[in-house]
Structure 1
Amino acid sequence: MKFITTLFLTLVFSISLLANVSNSEKSILIKLYQNTKGSQWTVKWDLNASVSTWYGVKIENGKVVGINLPNNNLVGTLPVEICNLSNLVELDLFKNNISGTIPENIGKLKNLQTLNLSFNKLTGSIPNSTCELQNLKTLMIFMNRLSGELPSQIGNLKELEIVSLFNNDLSGELPASLYELKNLKELILSSNKFSGQLSPNVENLVSLNKLSLFDNKLNGEIPFSIVKLENLENVNLAYNSFSGSVPSTLAGKHGFNLMMRNESGVAFKMEVSNSTKGILAADE
């Protein structure tokens, strides 16, 4: 009986150790709580209780691997210390009132797979260090106030499947490396200020299912090579300044809208082409 009791206590103690985190990680979480007015959160943390009981915090092997606090009335800024949670796999702070900028050293989160900071009040640019998140699959920062250009090395993120940055103030040309993301399934950049042309290299996005570039300042012809994307089902390129004609196979995709804007801002409707000339030329 004594052996069984000892074994039981050892097991409970071991589980307790696994459920708790180091003081350094706990202090980072408390910093997040304080920076975002935790006392006003919809679901609050009891800072006197075990971290394992804190709402939205996922722990594995004594390490914080997830912070999921969507729609929880976080008001304030992200502490730079959050980037020291080196085992973090998921950071989801969707639909709060977080302001300020995305920490410049966010690239330190080497294990991060999901980053969702959408529907907040973030300003500034997307840090270049974001391109160091080699395991990132989902990048969602839509409905904020971000400005500047997409980081030029975004193509380094070979695991990316979703990029959703709509309704910001992003500008500049789409980086050449963007077209190297062969695992990308959704690219949603609508309602920004992106300019320049859509590269014929768009055909390299072989996994792409959804493409939305609606309401930007893109120009030139829509590359015929886009029709090679066999997985592409949903496309919206409307209200840019594209010229020329649209391949009929593209115009027939779900969500496609022929309306564009000329350089004066006047709306016009693009013509649909049944010609395969552009497609054949792209194969040469």
Structure 2
Amino acid sequence: MKCLTTLLLIFGFTLNIFADTVSDKEKDALIKLYYATNGSQWKIKWDLSLSVSTWYGVQVENGKVTALNLGDNNLEGQLPSEFFDLVNLTSVDLHKNKLQGQLPKAINNFKELEVLDISLNQLSGAIPETICDLQKLRDLELSKNKISGELPVEIGKLNQLEVLSLFDNEIEGQLPNSIYKIPALKVLLLNSNKFSGSLSGEVVNFNALQNLSLFNNGFEGEIPKGLEKLHNLSEMNLSYNKFAGGVSKNLALLDALNMTMFDENGNMFLLELNAEKENTVIIEN
């Protein structure tokens, strides 16, 4: 009996060792990340002599690196190409650091990724089209960077996306038609960019939308009436654009800045409220 107990303990210990061990390729990718982002100056550093599973912010499951949480840890520099060898990642949180450079096309290596948060950094360049290959992505947060260019045309392929947060960047152009094909979208934050063009009537497809923020852009045309049909919408800000025409009282009440717009000369004005239609009952004698 004593021998059996000893064997079970050894077996369990061995399983833990193997569960704790990641491939050389993934370990090398993490080490390259550490050195490329000035690991010696991180707030919480890694002891590279210890097991990967002990490294701060690294989650290991069944011998695979599945999550990386290094938010607000003083990472600076560019993400090395080897970082994208971590193909088993489901969640990446690198927000509030000093990361620079452009997201590379190799982002599509992260086929299992569900959450990507690299907000509050210094990323630049355009969002690569290959990000649209991340079919499991639910949360994409790249706000407060220096991202430019236009949104990928096929962004609608991210049909599991619930949160798209890109505010405080330099993104321009019109919204791709495909964006209206994302049925799960709950939060759409595009404020403080350089977007232009009009909102499509297909905005009515955003059945799950709860928060819509487009303020401080160059959107124009009329505000689609379909917005009133979005019964889950509880927060909205469309102000500081070039929208024209009238708007319903219900929509105006949702907008925190009461639909303040810019005219062609850059002067501020308030959109007028549409007159409420009264139901007229005709009684025949």
Query: What is the TM-score normalised by the length of structure 2?
Result: 0.95
**Cα offset for 1:2?**
2.2
**Match of 2:247, SS?**
strand
Q: Name the SS of the counterpart of 2:68 in structure 1.
A: strand
Shift of 1:50: 0.3
Question: In structure 2, what is the equivalent of residue 128 of structure 1?
Answer: 129
Larger radius of gyration: 2
Distance 2:209 2:45 in 1: 39
2:79 alignment partner AA: L
Corresponding residue number in structure 2 for 1:82: 83
Q: Secondary structure of the residue that 1:136 maps to in structure 2?
A: coil
8 Å Cα contact 1:234-1:256 kept in structure 2? no
Amino acid at match of 1:98: L
Deviations 1:230-280 (A, max 9, x none): 101101000000000111121121525221011221111111114469xxx
1:54 maps to 55
| Unmatched runs of 5 consecutive residues or more in structure 2 | 279-285
Q: Which residue of 2 aligns with 1:110?
A: 111
Deviations 1:134-184 (A, max 9, x none): 000000000000000010111101100000000000000001000011100
Moved more, 248-257 or 10-19: 248-257
CA distance in 2 between counterparts of 1:157 and 1:64 reads 23
Corresponding residue for residue 169 of structure 2: 168
Q: Could you say what the CA RMSD is over the residues aligned between the two structures, in angstroms?
A: 1.2
The answer (yes or no) to whether the contact 1:79–1:103 under 8 Å persists in 2 is no
Equivalent position amino acid for 2:206 in 1? L
Q: Secondary structure at the match of 2:105?
A: coil
Which residue does 1:65 correspond to in 2? Answer: 66
Partner of 1:186: 187
Map 1:150-169 onto structure 2 (within 5 A): 150-169=151-170
Structure 1, 266-275 or 210-219: larger mean CA deviation: 266-275
What does residue 283 of structure 2 align with?
Answer: none
- 1:121, CA displacement in angstroms? 0.3
Q: Which runs of 4+ in 1 moved over 4 A?
A: none
Aligned to 1:280: none
Unaligned runs of 5+ in 1: 278-284
Q: Displacement of 1:19 after TM fit? A: 1.3
| Counterpart contact for 1:134–1:158, Cα < 8 Å | yes
Write the letter of the residue equivalent to 1:199.
S
* Structure 1: distance between partners of 2:264 and 2:35: 48
Partner SS, residue 123 of structure 2: coil
Partner of 1:10: 11
SS in 2 for 1:214: coil
- Equivalent residue of 2:164, what SS? strand
Matches within 5 A, 1:237-276: 237-253=238-254, 255-275=256-276
Q: Distance in 2 between matches of 1:245 and 1:233?
A: 20
Secondary structure, aligned partner of 2:219 = strand
Measured against aligned partners, the alpha-carbon deviations of 1:9-54 in whole angstroms (never above 9, x if no partner) come to 1110111110121111000000110110000000000000000100
- Structure 1 residue aligned with 2:281: none
Residues 235 and 256 of structure 1 are in contact (CA less than 8 Å); yes or no, is this contact kept in structure 2? no
In the other structure, the counterpart of 2:102 is 101
Identity rate, percent:
47
Structure-2 residue corresponding to 1:91: 92
Pick closer, same or farther for the CA change 1:65–1:251 going to 2, 3 Å. same
- In structure 1, the residue corresponding to 2:53 is in which secondary structure? helix
Q: Can you list the C-alpha shifts for 1:100-132, whole angstroms capped at 9, x where unaligned? A: 111221011110000000000000110101100
Counterparts of 1:265 and 1:79 in 2: how far apart (Å)? 43
Are the counterparts in 1 of residues 239 and 255 from structure 2 also a CA contact under 8 Å? no
Q: 1:82: how far off?
A: 1.7
